[in-house]
Amino acid sequence: MTPTRVSTRPPQHPHPEIMTAVRRYRLAAFCTALVVAAAVPGVTPAQDATPNHWLDKMARAVQTASYEGTVIRIQNNTVEALKVVHTVTDGVVREKVIVQEGNGIEIIRNGNEVQCILPDKRSVLVEEWNDQSALFSSLPSGSIRFGNEYDVSIVREERVAGRKAVELAIRPHDEYRFGHRIWLDMETGFPLQTKLVAQDGAALEQVKFADIVLGEDIHASAFDPSISTENFRWFTQPKRKVTHIVDSAWQSDDLPSGFRVVSTHEENLSGRDITVTHILYSDGLANVSVFIEPASDDRKVARQSSVGSSNSYSVETDGFRVTAVGEVPAATVEKIATSMRPN
């Protein structure tokens, strides 16, 4: 598993439902490669460890793992169940996710290749994913040492999916980022449950393992499609041409505290004779992507949109369309989008 990116979508796919499934897969942070990890030997009582100890343990856990289970995702009063199988062998990720409701969509990953199977359309979309970071975008990559942006604390010990877990609370200091609750397996550091929390304490999204088996060998046949794809139509997404750049022609003159540039690159979109600049900002936990492209005459009005906990804001600046997207409050993407200026 994303919000509507008006200026950065690939050309319309013959079956947009397939693209919707892939985006939903990326958003379900736990469902796929939100996945985790080789067991770290030994159990440290929660009261004897610091919050950053647990975050570091989780970061180690999310690198290599074998597990299978059922994930429950709750967002916008909608409950979604997914069957997940995941393993890593010699650094190669393999996983299969089956959506339990609706059309029974299956997502199968082998290394960098991902197949999204849409049974009712008798179609398969093949896409290459080279970067796993998006799958972990809602979780910290290790110790949080962000100065004035967040407080991290140990809340309590509980049981999740039949396993002992320690609950961590990550609380922001301002209105420009969401809070998090994370329940980590006490033995391995594996994240068994997460909750994204708004400023008023309301849960924006919850992802939880209902059952899980960690650390056992998984046979290769577990990653085979559960249905035959014979006579299905296959579609392959064209590879994007991406050029990484050091110095962007654009910058923000009013970033929220703690946000810094992580990467900048230019991308030529297939089917469109334009170049889009992508700037990624992060405070170490929250991420905001800014997309910049030449403005078109039919989209001059600023627009705000939301998909679940993700928000986007699009505005025209100096003849360019600037769109900020992220799993952050609406005020954050508006502030960043409207603060972008050409150098």
Is residue 264 domain-resident? Answer: yes
Which helix (DSSP H) or strand (DSSP E) does residue 333 occupy? helix 330-339
Is residue 271 helix, strand or coil?
Answer: coil
Is the predicted pLDDT of residue 45 greater than 90, yes or no? no
Question: Cα angle vertex 332, ends 154, 131, to 5°?
Answer: 75
Residue at 95: amino acid letter: E
Is residue 11 domain-resident?
A: no
In a domain, 9, yes or no: no
Instruction: State whether 290 and 322 are in the same domain.
Output: yes
Q: What is the CATH number of the domain that holds 107?
A: 2.50.20.10
Dist. CA 86–CA 93, nearest whole Å? 7
Q: What tens digit of pLDDT does each residue of 62-90 get?
A: 776 788 999 998 988 889 999 999 888 88
Same domain (yes/no): 89, 64 = yes
Residues 266 and 194 in one domain: no
- 190 and 254 assigned to the same domain: no
Query: What is the extent of the structural domain holding 41?
Result: 16-236
Q: What is the CATH number of the domain that holds 338?
A: 3.30.200.100
Query: What's the gap between Cα 85 and its chain centre?
Result: 18
Whether residues 92 and 210 share a domain: the answer is yes
Tell me which residue of 339, 257, 337 sits closest to 304, measured CA to CA. 337
- Say if residue 194 is in the same domain as residue 252: no
Task: Choose the final residue of a domain: 189, 215, 236.
Answer: 236
Q: What pLDDT is stored for residue 306 in this prediction?
A: 84
Whole-model pTM above 0.75? yes
- Alpha carbons 147 and 257: distance in angstroms, whole number: 10
- State mean pLDDT over 309-328: 93
Residue 7 lies in a domain: no
CA dihedral 47, 73, 75, 61 (to 10 degrees): 40
Answer yes or no: do 249 and 220 share one domain: no
Q: Tell how strand 123-128 and strand 150-160 pair up.
A: unpaired
**Is 59 within the bounds of a domain?**
yes
Check residues 17 and 179 and name the one with the higher pLDDT. Answer: 179
Q: Once rounded to an integer, what is the mean pLDDT over residues 228-240?
A: 87
Burial of 148 (0-12, 13-18, 19+ CB in 10 A): exposed
What are the backbone dihedrals phi and psi of residue 273, each rounded to the nearest 5 degrees, phi first?
-85, 60
Beta bridge partners of 117: 106, 124
The gap between the terminal CA atoms of the chain, to the nearest Å, is 33
Which distant-in-sequence residues (6+ apart) come within 8 Å of 119 by Cβ? 103, 104, 105, 106, 227
Q: Look at residues 188, 221, 236 and tell me which one is the last residue of a structural domain.
A: 236
Better-predicted residue by pLDDT, 28 or 121: 121
Q: Of the ranges 10-24, 259-273, 326-340, which one carries the lowest mean pLDDT score?
A: 10-24
Characterise 57 by phi-psi region: left (phi > 0), alpha (psi -120 to 50), beta (else). Answer: alpha
Residues 44 and 156 in one domain: yes
Shared-domain flag, residues 310 and 246: yes
Asked if residue 6 is part of any domain, the answer here is no
pLDDT-based confidence at residue 252 (cuts at 50, 70, 90): very high
46 inside domain: yes
Cβ neighbours, 10 Å, residue 219? 9
Is the per-residue pLDDT at 30 higher than 50? Answer: no
Write the pLDDT tens digit of every residue in 170-198.
999 999 999 999 999 999 998 999 999 99
In total, how many domains does the chain have?
2
- Residue 191: name the closest of 228, 136, 244 by CA: 136
- Is pLDDT at 142 greater than 60 in this prediction? no
Answer with the one of 189, 208, 236 that is the final residue of a domain.
236
Is 4 within a domain?
A: no
Q: Are residues 102 and 231 in the same domain?
A: yes
pLDDT band at 135 (very low <50, low <70, confident <90, very high): very low
> 188 and 267, same structural domain?
no
Could you tell me if 34 and 154 lie in one domain?
yes
